[in-house]
Amino acid sequence: MSCTQLTPFIIPERKKRRKLQADYVKDHGGKENYYRLAGLYALENNVPDAIQWLNMAFLNGFRKFGVLAQDESFDKIRDSEDYKQLLKKYLEPYF
């Protein structure tokens, strides 16, 4: 079954799917996984969850600031105060 055929069935189940992803990430861990889950929430403009998972990624050693700066998934939340504060918190010690 192709993705096109699946799409109408998948979209209404987005919340359920997101929960599955969150469970998967909790089970498997990993900074990259936390980062990508944050990206998914950011795509949906869900700032609190995006910030929470991005924070988790940083706490677990994610430090690819350049990648984050250019990642289009985070474009929607880049102007939010929480995102700026989070970046400031992790970058400040290095200046």
Partner 1 sequence: MRFVLFFLSCLSFFDCSGQTVQDYLQSGSEKYKQYQIKEAISDYRQALVLDSNNIAAYYALGEAESWRMSYDSAIYFYTKSIRMSDNSTYGLFNRGRTYYYKGDYEKALNDFNQLIGREEKFLPLNAEVRAIIRYRAHHFYGAIDDLTKVINDRAYVQDLFLRARCYQHTNQDSLAHEDFAALIREEQQNNHVLYSAYAFYYSGKKEKA
Residues in contact with partner 1 by CB under 8 A are 2-4, 6-7, 10-11, 14, 17-18, 20-21, 24-25, 33, 36-37, 39-40, 43-44, 63, 65-66, 69-70, 72-73, 91, 93-95
Compute the least distance from the CB of residue 36 to partner 1, in Å.
4
Q: How far apart are CA 21 and CA 40, in angstroms?
A: 10
Half-sphere exposure of 10 (CA within 13 A, CB side): 10
The set of residues, in sequence order, having a beta carbon less than 8 Å from that of 11 and lying 6+ positions away, is none
- Compare residues 32 and 48 and give the one whose CB is closer to partner 1: 32
22, two tokens = 């969150």
Q: How far apart are CA 43 and CA 41, in angstroms?
A: 5
Rg value, the chain, Cα: 15
Compute the least distance from the CB of residue 66 to partner 1, in Å.
4
Compute the least distance from the CB of residue 61 to partner 1, in Å.
9
- Compare residues 81 and 94 and give the one whose CB is closer to partner 1: 94
